[in-house]
């Protein structure tokens, strides 16, 4: 089976690229013959809407660019897969320009679709893909923000007589590097994209179970999402030109002290702390950041401030705390090496693992 991957993502180090790579791995495991087309690297002029391809030279566009060579791959494929980021609630401009330029491959004949819709006839239906699928990736939370792009792609499927065999939508994509947020879910999300490719190659469709796993939520609620996303973009802005590399931004953000302490608060053990009333002050010397956790009988809150009436004060660098939080170094070793200084109730520090736990889904 021949599968054409139409990549419409301009960034080649972003999440759309990575998830599509996983999808292609699955396709190849399923023995599909895969050809990739990167629209950013191609010269594709915008459609003029002149109808020359219908009325003067039927089937031939006035533009002499890369579209003809792309369409040789497109029309020879059994299934075509569109991969696009979410741009302003729709598909990327690269994909839209490509879709517009399919006009020569249709003809001036209207056909009914159902009782109300209309589509154009395909010029050469015997030289046309049998099905299509799509990958749609964006940073926003909630599937409703993808509705415009989803509807566009589904209407395209209907209008060009390409039955839809799979739709993979990935919200909250910027959270995927935060593997400690929901380690099992994120692992399953990545695996689902690979599984989707395998299913498409072997069954000619992606199962509803796999599509649902691909879209699994990563944040607990809208407040959680907006809080972490705002931290993300604030830190990215502070990085200046280095922020142009999303991999570098991710390496910094996943170790951000506010995000790490926020995760502690979200994962307090209500049973272990049901009789505890205490305040813990964190001073991160390298970032001049003071954060305070307040535990009150099973409930926990976070304050972005310096408090005086703390029961335990932890002074360290944000990097050392990230290493402790992510289990890269042992807290006791950090204490003995004076990478971390504690004041107040030392037994409270010793029980932090009991009171707080890394998320495990």
Domains and CATH numbers, the chain: 2-214 (3.40.50.360), 255-355 (3.30.1050.10)
Q: Is the pLDDT reported for residue 216 higher than 90? A: yes
Question: How, if at all, do strands 289-296 and 277-284 pair?
Answer: antiparallel
pLDDT, the chain, mean: 91
Q: DSSP letters of 127-143?
A: SS-SEEEEEEE-SSSSG
pLDDT value for 63? 95
User: What band does 48 get if pLDDT is binned at 50, 70 and 90?
Assistant: very high
Q: Is the pLDDT reported for residue 1 higher than 90? A: yes
Q: Is the pLDDT reported for residue 360 higher than 70? A: no
- Render pLDDT for 299-318 as a digit per residue (tens, 0 to 9): 999 998 888 899 999 999 99
- For the chain, the C-alpha Rg in angstroms (whole number) is 26
The answer to which of 27-36, 220-229, 269-278 has the lowest mean pLDDT is 220-229
Please state, for a pLDDT cut of 90, what percent of the chain lies above it.
Answer: 61
**Does the reported pTM lie above 0.75?**
yes
Of 158, 147, 164, nearest to 82 by C-alpha is 164
Average the pLDDT over 252-267 and give the result. Answer: 86
Query: In the sheet where 164-170 sits, what is the strand order?
Result: 33-38, 2-7, 79-85, 131-137, 164-170
pLDDT value for 26? 97
Name the strand (E) or helix (H) holding 315.
strand 312-316
- Render pLDDT for 66-104 as a digit per residue (tens, 0 to 9): 999 999 999 999 999 999 999 999 999 999 999 999 999
- Say which residue, 26 or 121, is predicted with more confidence: 26
Question: To which residue do tokens 């390409």 refer?
Answer: 162
User: What band does 278 get if pLDDT is binned at 50, 70 and 90?
Assistant: very high
Please state, for a pLDDT cut of 70, what percent of the chain lies above it.
Answer: 99
Q: What is the rounded CA–CA span in Å between residue 118 and residue 32?
A: 33
Q: Is the pLDDT reported for residue 115 higher than 70? A: no
- Say which residue, 264 or 136, is predicted with more confidence: 136
pLDDT value for 173? 92
- Distance set, CA 309 to CA 268, 281, 288, 313, 348 (Å): 21, 9, 19, 10, 15
Coil, strand or helix: which one is 16?
A: helix
Name the strand (E) or helix (H) holding 4.
strand 2-7
- Render pLDDT for 151-210 as a digit per residue (tens, 0 to 9): 999 999 998 999 999 999 999 998 898 887 788 999 999 999 999 999 999 999 999 999
pLDDT value for 361? 63
- Render pLDDT for 323-335 as a digit per residue (tens, 0 to 9): 888 888 888 898 8
């Amino acid at each position: 089976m021949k599968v054409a991957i139409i990549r419409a993502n301009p960034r080649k180090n972003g999440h759309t690229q990575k998830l599509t790579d996983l999808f292609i791995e699955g396709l190849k495991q399923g023995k599909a013959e895969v050809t990739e087309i990167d629209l950013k690297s191609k010269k594709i002029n915008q459609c003029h809407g002149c109808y020359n391809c219908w009325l003067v030279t039927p089937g031939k566009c006035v533009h002499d660019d890369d579209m003809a060579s792309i369409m040789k791959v497109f029309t020879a494929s059994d299934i075509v897969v569109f991969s696009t980021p979410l741009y302003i609630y729709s598909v990327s401009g690269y994909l839209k320009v490509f879709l517009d330029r399919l006009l020569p491959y249709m003809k001036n004949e209207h056909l009914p679709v159902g009782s109300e819709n209309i589509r154009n006839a395909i010029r050469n239906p015997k030289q046309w893909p049998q099905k299509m699928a799509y990958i749609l990736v964006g940073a926003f939370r909630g599937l409703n923000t993808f509705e415009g792009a989803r509807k566009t792609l589904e209407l395209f499927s209907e209008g060009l007589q390409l039955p839809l065999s799979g739709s993979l939508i990935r919200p909250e994509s910027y959270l995927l590097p935060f593997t400690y947020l929901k380690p099992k879910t994120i692992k399953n999300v990545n695996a689902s994209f690979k599984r989707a490719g395998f299913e498409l190659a072997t069954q000619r469709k992606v199962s509803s179970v796999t599509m649902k796993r691909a879209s699994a939520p990563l944040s607990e609620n809208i407040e959680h999402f907006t809080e972490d996303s705002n931290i993300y973009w604030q830190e990215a802005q502070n990085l200046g030109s280095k922020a142009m590399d999303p991999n570098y931004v991710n390496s910094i953000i996943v170790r951000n002290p506010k995000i790490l302490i926020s995760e502690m608060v979200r994962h307090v053990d209500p049973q272990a702390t049901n009789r505890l009333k205490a305040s813990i002050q964190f001073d991160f010397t390298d970032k001049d950041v003071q954060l305070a956790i307040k535990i009150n009988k099973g409930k926990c809150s976070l304050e972005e401030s310096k408090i005086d009436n703390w029961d335990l004060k932890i002074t360290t660098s944000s990097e050392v705390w990230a290493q402790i939080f992510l289990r890269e170094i042992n807290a006791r070793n950090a204490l003995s090496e004076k990478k971390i200084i504690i004041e107040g109730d030392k037994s409270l520090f010793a029980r932090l693992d009991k009171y707080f736990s890394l998320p495990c889904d």
